[in-house]
């Protein structure tokens, strides 16, 4: 009588990051991944119009797979870049995809927490709490990141060891999330007509629900967003928000990012024309 082996094979995990500049932030992220809990993940970096990264050899950890992608005149192809990173990671054998924004430094347990969540609940797309750090915050020692923990108040933030399922699509963000191979393939990835800032996250989350998957939050998958200058509302992304908002409205019958659009309207930058939003004539240029 022959014995049948029941040895469980560990899933292969890939961490995908899309980048254009912010090389110091990427290096901090890489150092944290090199000392993360559990087996080291495979590493894929998508260089959006950033040839300096094509031959990147980080100080910590093995050299990643770098995927160059062209940047159109309209702006950074964030959606297409994530899709390119996922294709590369899956071709390299990934079972679990972890997406981290270039500004995010993972806590030591982030990769292991996401991996466990995906294995236990493969039909859930998991996000983790993200803390926005103040200028000058020290991220050199990943083991000390818990002392900086203060998750963004506009998103769910379950405690470490806790998970929440059935999350709202409008609260999904691509700063930090994970899912399995089959879940990614079921979604078809991000809608690549979104170019530049805005819209693609909410669209992806709605697709997740449309194809019968769930959204969830894992309190153990914590990350820390390194500071960089920004504007609120993001006037520098006004044209992309209008363009991507129109794409979203054509797909879903309503405009996203209404809070920002209304702030732009109060500032005289955009005007409503029926169900549409557009630059006011006095703000064009």
Please tell me what DSSP assigns to residue 151: B
Domain residue limits, the chain: 13-225, 235-283
pLDDT of 282: 66
Higher pLDDT, 141 or 61: 141
pLDDT of 229: 80
pLDDT of 281: 75
Mean pLDDT of all residues in the chain?
93
- Is the pLDDT assigned to residue 180 strictly greater than 80? yes
Q: Give me the mean pLDDT over the 255-272 stretch.
A: 92
Lowest-pLDDT range of 3-12, 99-108, 177-186, 228-237:
3-12
Cβ(67)–Cβ(47) below 8 Å: yes
Write out the DSSP string of 32-100: HHHT-SSSPPEEEEEEES-GGGTT---SSSSPPEEEEE---TT---HHHHHHHHHHHHHHTT-SEEEEE
Nearest to 85 by CA among 95, 99, 72, 102: 99
Mean pLDDT is highest, among 31-40, 53-62, 103-112, for: 103-112
- Is the pLDDT assigned to residue 183 strictly greater than 70? yes
pLDDT of 228: 85
- Is the pLDDT assigned to residue 3 strictly greater than 90? no
- Is the pLDDT assigned to residue 4 strictly greater than 70? no
pTM of the model: 0.94
Q: Give me the mean pLDDT over the 134-154 stretch.
A: 93
Please tell me what DSSP assigns to residue 190: S
Q: Give me the mean pLDDT over the 92-102 stretch.
A: 98
- Rounded Cα gap, residues 125 and 215, in angstroms: 5
- Rounded Cα gap, residues 19 and 46, in angstroms: 6
Alpha helices in 162-271 (DSSP H): 181-187, 200-210, 238-252, 258-266
Architecture of the domain made up of 13-225: Alpha-Beta Complex (3.90)
- Rounded Cα gap, residues 60 and 105, in angstroms: 14
- Rounded Cα gap, residues 74 and 219, in angstroms: 36
- Is the pLDDT assigned to residue 285 strictly greater than 80? no
């Amino acid at each position: 009588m022959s014995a049948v082996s029941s040895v469980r094979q560990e899933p292969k995990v890939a961490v995908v990051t899309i980048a254009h500049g912010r090389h110091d932030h990427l290096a901090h992220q890489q150092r944290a991944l090199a000392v993360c809990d559990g087996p080291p993940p495979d590493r894929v970096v998508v260089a959006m119009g950033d040839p300096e990264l094509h031959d990147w050899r980080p100080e910590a950890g093995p050299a990643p797979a770098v995927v160059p992608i062209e940047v159109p005149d309209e702006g950074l192809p964030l959606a297409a870049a994530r899709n390119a990173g996922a294709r590369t990671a899956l071709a390299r054998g990934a079972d679990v995809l972890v997406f981290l924004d270039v500004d995010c430094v993972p806590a030591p347990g982030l990769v292991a927490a996401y991996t466990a969540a995906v294995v236990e609940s493969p039909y859930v797309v998991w996000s983790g709490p993200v803390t926005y750090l103040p200028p000058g915050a020290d991220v050199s020692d990943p083991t000390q990141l818990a002392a900086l923990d203060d998750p963004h108040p506009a998103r769910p933030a379950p405690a470490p060891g806790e998970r929440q399922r059935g999350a709202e699509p409008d609260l999904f963000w691509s700063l930090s999330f994970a899912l399995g191979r089959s879940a990614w393939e079921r979604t078809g990835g991000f809608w690549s007509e979104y170019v530049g800032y805005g819209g693609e996250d909410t669209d992806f989350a709605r697709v997740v629900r449309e194809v019968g998957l769930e959204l969830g939050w894992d309190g153990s998958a914590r990350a820390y967003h390194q500071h960089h200058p920004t504007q609120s509302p993001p006037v520098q992304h006004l044209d992309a928000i209008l363009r991507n908002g129109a794409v979203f409205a054509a797909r879903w019958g309503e405009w996203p990012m209404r809070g920002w659009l209304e702030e732009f309207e109060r500032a005289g930058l955009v005007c409503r024309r029926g169900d549409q939003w557009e630059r006011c004539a006095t703000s064009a240029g």
